[in-house]
Amino acid sequence: MKLLISNDDGILALGVRTLANTLSQAGHEVTVVCPDRERSATGHGLTLHQPIRAEVVDSVFNPEVTAWSCSGTPSDCVKFALSAILETSPDLVLSGINHGSNLGTDILYSGTVSAAMEGVIEGIHSMALSLANYTSQEFQTAANFAQTALREGGLSPLPEATLLNINVPSVEPSEIAGVVVTRQGLRRYVESFERRVDPRGKSYYWLAGEVIEDIEQPNHMHLPRHIPTDIHAIGKNYITITPLQYNLTDVSSLTKLTESGWFYMGKPSPPPEQG
């Protein structure tokens, strides 16, 4: 398969090297385009007010891997690769392996997920891969899982371009409980901005906070309750697979607004008659 790989941890990150080298050694044609530095939590940001610089990277990946470093965001990297580097579209866009989880509502801020979503926007199946630990350097299990998913056609049942957000627990392979399809959980934080003072006596602030995990959310999406959330399943040592889409339309609310009769194209609805 022809694969495009990006990330938000930067071109020198161990996660992307492990993923790209593993898939290249398995016989895939791999092109890597990553930010030139860490760009975590940049969401789906694009570089519009300054030039994007890119250059070929040698001696970081296996010789069979074509690699580029890009000054832009993760989304920039995938757009640049699809429009300016690759002569034909890849069969799959992969992002990661991220150093740390991308679970619940964290995906809204994730550069890793946003890079993969660029593939979906262009009609290409995509995967975002994350190791659910910020200190572990053991990325091989996640890379092996990606290789297995490609070999066994894990995306073949999906008729339309879809993003699979995959999180791998940071445990020994023998301790992984299995693989489970999950729904997106809700992760909230008790956030605070810590005030500090620089050497010149001026104040600056550092975002900090404590995570509150797996809050049960209203079932307005009508998702089956027997399907676990990604946050709950990763806590049980399962590899989680959550299918995502870029269309954020709230279908339930759309239906209710349409049926309510108080809003429609044209002049405002008349007030109700007084009894």
Taking a C-beta distance cutoff of 8 angstroms, is the pair 23, 100 a contact? no
221 pLDDT band, cuts 50/70/90, is low
Q: pLDDT > 90: what percent of the chain?
A: 68
186 pLDDT band, cuts 50/70/90, is confident
pLDDT above 90 (res 165): yes
DSSP string, 256-270: HHHHHSS--SSSPPP
Long-range contacts of 109-113, Cβ-Cβ distance < 8 Å, separation of 24 or more: 109/41, 109/43, 110/8, 110/41, 110/43, 111/7, 111/8, 111/35, 111/39, 111/40, 111/41, 111/42, 111/43, 111/73, 111/74, 111/75, 112/7, 112/8, 112/9, 112/74, 113/163, 113/165, 113/244
Higher pLDDT, 186 or 90: 90
Give the pLDDT confidence of 64-83 residue by residue, as tens digits. Answer: 999 999 999 999 999 999 99
Write down the CATH number for the domain with range 2-186+224-248.
3.40.1210.10
Taking a C-beta distance cutoff of 8 angstroms, is the pair 65, 20 a contact? yes
Higher pLDDT, 186 or 135: 135
Question: What Rg, from alpha-carbon coordinates, does the chain have?
Answer: 21
| Structure confidence at residue 260 (pLDDT) | 76
Cβ-based neighbours of 117, under 8 Å, separated by 6 or more:
44, 75, 126, 163, 244, 246
For 46, counting Cβ atoms within 10 Å of its Cβ (0-12 exposed, 13-18 middle, 19+ buried), the class is middle
Average pLDDT of the chain? 89
pTM of the model: 0.88
pLDDT above 60 (res 32): yes
| Structure confidence at residue 120 (pLDDT) | 96
Tokens of 242: 């959550």
pLDDT above 90 (res 23): yes
Q: pLDDT > 70: what percent of the chain?
A: 88
Give the pLDDT confidence of 122-138 residue by residue, as tens digits. Answer: 999 999 999 999 999 99
Cβ-based neighbours of 145, under 8 Å, separated by 6 or more:
129, 166, 168, 179, 239
251 pLDDT band, cuts 50/70/90, is confident
What gap in Å lies between CA 216 and CA 149, rounded to an integer?
30
pLDDT above 90 (res 224): no
206 pLDDT band, cuts 50/70/90, is confident
Taking a C-beta distance cutoff of 8 angstroms, is the pair 62, 22 a contact? no
Taking a C-beta distance cutoff of 8 angstroms, is the pair 185, 221 a contact? no
The mean per-residue pLDDT over the stretch 226-246 comes to: 93
Q: Delimit the domains of the chain by residue range.
A: 2-186+224-248
The mean per-residue pLDDT over the stretch 250-275 comes to: 69
| Structure confidence at residue 182 (pLDDT) | 94
Tokens of 137: 């350097």
The mean per-residue pLDDT over the stretch 257-270 comes to: 65
